[in-house]
Amino acid sequence: MTSTSRYAFIKAQWHADIVDRAYDGFVELIPAAQVDVFSVPGAFEMPLVAQDLAKSGGYAAIACAAFVVDGGIYRHDFVASAVVDGLMRVALDTGVPVLSVSLTPHQYQETEHHNAIYRNHFVEKGREAARAALMIGKTRATLAA
């Protein structure tokens, strides 16, 4: 367990206009000066980068944000499951909390109406990830005392 007050925020670039809003919510609770941001092509790349960051020992927690939608070519539910499973494995293997802000909507349509809904939702999910990062840090500090 690390005593650092730095946090990592990994964001997938698919639907970046939506995904980036999670960072906005995250830094409402954790100062941006304490957050290092890393971009990856898509959700599938997040676990590997999270693992590298966790092994560095430089972060109290790592938040990962992605928007996985049904593109008609691949099974988005398979991708989302693989990503979340990978992120959990990183957390358990390294002892560094890895928080998922990865959403997989069932009824997404690329319209301004849906995009606005999900942009707003990602802000709240970013806040939730920040709250979780802070809470788990306090809980683990209590356990270590």
Tokens found for residue 31: 């100062």
Digit-coded pLDDT (tens) for 28-51? 999 999 999 999 998 889 999 999
Q: Is 140 a catalytic residue?
A: no
pLDDT digits (tens, 9 = 90+) for 127-138: 999 999 999 999
Please indicate, yes or no, whether the overall pTM of this predicted structure exceeds 0.75.
Answer: yes
Name the residue among 119, 98, 100 with its Cα closest to residue 108: 119
Dump pLDDT digits (tens) for 89-102: 999 999 999 999 88
Catalytic residue among 6, 21, 75, 127: 75
Contacts of 90 (CB under 8 A, 6+ apart): 47, 50, 51, 54, 62, 96, 98
CATH fold for the domain made of 7-144: Rossmann fold (3.40.50)
Closest by CA to 133, choosing from 44, 4, 40, 12, is 4
Lookup result for tokens 């809470």 = 135
In the chain, what are the domain boundaries? 7-144
User: Would the pLDDT of 57 be above 90?
Assistant: yes
The predicted pLDDT at position 73 comes to: 59
